[in-house]
Copies of this chain bind each other. A is one copy, B any other.
Amino acid sequence: MSDVADWWRTSIIDMEPGRIELRGHPIEELIGKVSFPEMIWLMVRGDRPSAGQAKLFEAALVSAVDHGPQAPSIAAARMAVTCGLPLNNAMASAVNMLGDVHGGAGEQAVELYHFLASAGAPLSDALDDWCAARGKIVPGFGHRFHTPTDPRAPRLLELVQDSVEAGVCDGNFAEIAIQVEHELLKRAGKPIPMNIDGATAVIYAELGFAPPLARGLFCLSRSVGILAHAWEQTQQGGRNKGPTPPSYRWTFDG
């Protein structure tokens, strides 16, 4: 029996009938006492954030909740409810799509910042090395729609700056990200500014989250927009909503 119990061992939760402890805290001492972002931090990392950390963390979570129904994940959530799926399945269909290309840029940007921070070479050379290994798309920079500027990024950087001044974080990753932005401007001859993924990655890196968590936390954040859109579509109604009205047909490449 002990080997089955060990197979599912965890440091996150302990319980017996009538008692639930999360990361060592009785649940009834958390409810009504900690904020939702503090609870997220506690669950994922095991410790409690300072007030300043929690505030910066919360800003990142708030910033990425939605980017509209042209995003495949949001479209999927809206289509899903018209197929008769309840909200949990619609949310799953949508979160599932936040893959390497759609939801992975934040994770890759944290990896990039870590790589550049530990490269021991001028940033321009290190960036070349990154691109040689990982491809020419620099994660977290540039946006196909928001030109010249993704309005979320400068606001988030402003909050990082406030946090550095308040001693919440040291600003090293923010500095690296700004240097990348400068380098890309120099290379392209036009701005390829930090986008939402690059900016939230600065925050997650400054706060010490491992790269994969940038993706995981983005999923939590975007789940909010996914839920909102799924629910709005539920109220709008519709059956088997496809990408275009039924009168449209696709081109057949015979």
Contacts and interface: CB of A to CB of B under 8 A. Distances in A.
Interface of A: 1-20, 22, 24, 26-28, 30-32, 34-37, 39-40, 43-44, 55, 58-59, 61-63, 65-73, 75-76, 78-80, 82-89, 91-93, 95-104, 144-152, 154-156, 158-159, 212-213, 215-217, 219-220, 223-225, 227-232, 234, 236, 239-254
Highest count of chain B CB atoms <10 Å: which of A146, A224, A232: A224
Nearest to A7: B245
Assembly stoichiometry (copies): 4
Contacts of A55: 32
Contact of A212 (B34, B102, B231): B231
Contacts of A242: 69-72, 75
B234 A11 contact: no
Given A12-B225, A20-B152, A84 B58 contact: no
